[in-house]
Structure 1
């Protein structure tokens, strides 16, 4: 068997060399180039079993011309590496049918494993041309590490109808994820119907979901179409699924198993053409243990789980979110405001128990009451009341709890065999360095002294973690 050969298209020489060395150690031959033109020349003059490519290259967008490349070399898997860690990038990678997408910084062991898998697996035929996407019309905002798993999973769900269960605290944006799966997927021309289980009286929930015939129960003065029928050809979003009463769970399970429903009081069977996306802010496993939620329904819904991180775990996104909400506030008739780095730094220190919803409401309030064109740290201090329990630790945010959660997430991702220490160290050092750099206002000498480390060591860590020197982020 011939030695496999991989083309690495990366304009950062250090990353290219590290990836090349790791693949060479696995007996994989590599060739490195740093531009679209060099990539095209390499592909024209040689055969490659797989291509690794960055997005932003010296002469062009590495993704913009990939469809043409993949059309001429349909058997060559392509893995995308990108520091443009947005949902747009993940979706664009999915649209061109990339084998895998790795946001930077990535785990080298995971990348090497994906390369090995890609070499052994033929890529599917490319799909038809899809609409051009821009970050401005995407429903989710943020480039933090915590959001990358969400983006990658959303991108993988766009061409299938697998059931999805979105979990996360109240206000984290679970419905936005459901809307993204619908509006970016192949059902986007169909309806998106959202139903909040907690907002419907228990005795009416089955009629709401499945519809009813005239006279089927007291008050049924006419025929009514249920939410399942309203969502035909599209997506049905079942929000707060943990609040669904047990009798309705049984009927929902039957509908998911058979793919057929009937209206209450009716005899006709209605074949379903609906994708189901459910969401909850509760721990369904605990509800199952207490007998309040059907275990078999849980497994029907939880085909693809997505967990939305709380805002306190993605503080790097607060600046982008604040700018986004200021623009939305202006569209809603409020004055157009700007926000400076000191205000963003102040927002990043807040506990955000209400998550993104709380941040949005605060930004709207600041846009209304701010007397200047720019929101500053002073504006935040003047208009945000200190939480009475500010001296108490945030629930679930103690150092010990954070370690336990890190280990649990590490295990759930199936990476428990990977080297744990460097990953844990990066998780701890990043927020520590960000906090210190904000505290010393970007002064590296003061930061190094405060941390008790050499300035060169500090500078290397700031570079490795992509932390700016101005505001720590």
Structure 2
């Protein structure tokens, strides 16, 4: 009998367990699900839901987080213990989105905010069932030391791999944080490749590289003639990612007005291109990233709090290279071999002294800086072994300066304290040195240096123009 119930009691329709204590909503959700081809088993309380879960073996459960006899998060954990392969879609009131976020982190597939749109309910249920049936087990085992295309098996990266595998099956938005050069886009691509959307487009958009007045058009598209310069219709990144994944890099650079429109898109799954009067329905999963502290951006009013909670469902932090231990050795050797093959070079091994140096360096530019160093060495030198003298001069100088930077013992007795290194310098000179150093650390990127220094890129461009360094 239970076996039949899992398929709709012999009707052939998949059975959904609906847990909702409000009678009117229970009837509404049941009608929507039945109209979409599902059979529904409804429960009013947590206790009744557990009994029906054991007896009916549904293919999926839709569950309100506010129940009269039991906390929804506690019930979610019980569901996972009884039927770990049954996906869960949770429903919450607008003021309890933080609880829905906690449910997503605990393993729920998707959350819906009341009042629930009928189309969104069916969309969430459909995606949850697809994730249950279509993801190959081999991609979810989590037993490998690495996750392509990443290199390295340090403990910090193992945790990253675990989170990627865990979240890939769901519809949850992923919020990736980490310093510049740590591989945030690679992380987003890995989430996409392990998801049920892997055959659909992965579209990446850097919000920090596009002028604010053009960003809305880049995300949502525009119609011909909608503004000066719109000489033809343009498909935005969201529409291009339909069915797949939209990766919004440097999300904290997005203008507050556009943040409002992005929030509406997340809530309704519809977009309205610039100049259009009709909205278009899309099926897109959002993954975003930033090298800033998003919570600090919220506190300072630069990022909408409601959008933050909508996006920050499953956070993944990409560790800096200096915290990845021996990963830097594996990365360096693997990347050097690849670059040597690409350039037709014989420089494909690394001297022990260079590996010791690589272990000791702080790598402020992370993996991107390591790639830059190795590419420079391969292009300018012959092999077969990479030695310290082949490294870029700035790296050798950095190594030498750090070797000399060990703190000196405090002066004994009445000895004179060390002289102030900035004595006799003007403020303008100190400012210029700080700006130039930040630009060098960011491989010549003025926008990245500006973010590090907490100023706008236009400020740095203006100052460099005053110094006569750019025309």
Class of the TM-score when normalised by the shorter of the 2 chains: 0.5 to 0.7
Alignment pair present for 1:355 and 2:355: no
2:173 paired residue number: 163
Alignment pair present for 1:139 and 2:139: no
What CA distance in whole angstroms lies between the structure 2 residues aligned with 1:280 and 1:129?
28
The aligned runs of 1:48-447 (5 Å cut-off) are: 120-124=81-85, 127=133, 130=136, 138-336=148-346, 337-377=348-388, 379-380=390-391, 384-387=395-398, 390=402, 391=404
What CA distance in whole angstroms lies between the structure 2 residues aligned with 1:368 and 1:383?
16
> How far is 1:318 from its partner?
0.8
1:443 paired residue number: none
What CA distance in whole angstroms lies between the structure 2 residues aligned with 1:280 and 1:135?
26
- Answer whether contact 1:213 1:266 (CA < 8 A) is retained: yes
Indicate the SS of the match to 2:289: strand
Change in CA separation of 1:135 and 1:365 when aligned onto 2, cut-off 3 Å? farther
- Answer whether contact 1:339 1:374 (CA < 8 A) is retained: yes
Q: Compute the TM-score of the two structures, normalised by the length of structure 2.
A: 0.55
What CA distance in whole angstroms lies between the structure 1 residues aligned with 2:406 and 2:364?
12
- Answer whether contact 1:242 1:280 (CA < 8 A) is retained: yes
> How far is 1:272 from its partner?
1.6
What CA distance in whole angstroms lies between the structure 2 residues aligned with 1:393 and 1:227?
49
What CA distance in whole angstroms lies between the structure 1 residues aligned with 2:265 and 2:281?
10
Query: Gapped runs of 5+ residues in structure 2?
Result: 1-53, 55-76, 87-131, 408-471
- Answer whether contact 1:172 1:355 (CA < 8 A) is retained: yes
> How far is 1:378 from its partner?
5.6
Change in CA separation of 1:341 and 1:195 when aligned onto 2, cut-off 3 Å? same
Change in CA separation of 1:219 and 1:370 when aligned onto 2, cut-off 3 Å? closer
What CA distance in whole angstroms lies between the structure 1 residues aligned with 2:79 and 2:211?
50
- Answer whether contact 1:346 1:380 (CA < 8 A) is retained: no
- Answer whether contact 1:170 1:355 (CA < 8 A) is retained: yes
Query: Gapped runs of 5+ residues in structure 1?
Result: 1-74, 76-115, 395-473
Change in CA separation of 1:293 and 1:366 when aligned onto 2, cut-off 3 Å? same
> How far is 1:371 from its partner?
3.3
> How far is 1:256 from its partner?
0.7
> How far is 1:130 from its partner?
3.2
> How far is 1:389 from its partner?
5.5
> How far is 1:219 from its partner?
1.8
What CA distance in whole angstroms lies between the structure 2 residues aligned with 1:314 and 1:137?
15
Change in CA separation of 1:216 and 1:393 when aligned onto 2, cut-off 3 Å? farther
What CA distance in whole angstroms lies between the structure 2 residues aligned with 1:215 and 1:382?
52
- Answer whether contact 1:335 1:367 (CA < 8 A) is retained: yes
> How far is 1:365 from its partner?
1.7
- Answer whether contact 2:223 2:273 (CA < 8 A) is retained: yes
Change in CA separation of 1:234 and 1:119 when aligned onto 2, cut-off 3 Å? closer
What CA distance in whole angstroms lies between the structure 1 residues aligned with 2:406 and 2:181?
20
> How far is 1:381 from its partner?
8.9
Q: Over residues 145-188 of structure 1, what are the superposed CA-to-partner deviations in whole Å (9 max), with x where a residue is unaligned?
A: 11111000000122112101100001111011001111222111
What CA distance in whole angstroms lies between the structure 1 residues aligned with 2:135 and 2:255?
44
Q: Over residues 345-388 of structure 1, what are the superposed CA-to-partner deviations in whole Å (9 max), with x where a residue is unaligned?
A: 22101110110000111111222334330224564597832228
Q: Over residues 272-324 of structure 1, what are the superposed CA-to-partner deviations in whole Å (9 max), with x where a residue is unaligned?
A: 21110000001122221221111111111100000011111013101111122
Change in CA separation of 1:369 and 1:156 when aligned onto 2, cut-off 3 Å? same
Indicate the SS of the match to 1:384: helix
What CA distance in whole angstroms lies between the structure 1 residues aligned with 2:383 and 2:316?
40
Change in CA separation of 1:138 and 1:285 when aligned onto 2, cut-off 3 Å? same
Q: Compute the TM-score of the two structures, normalised by the length of structure 1.
A: 0.54
Indicate the SS of the match to 1:165: strand
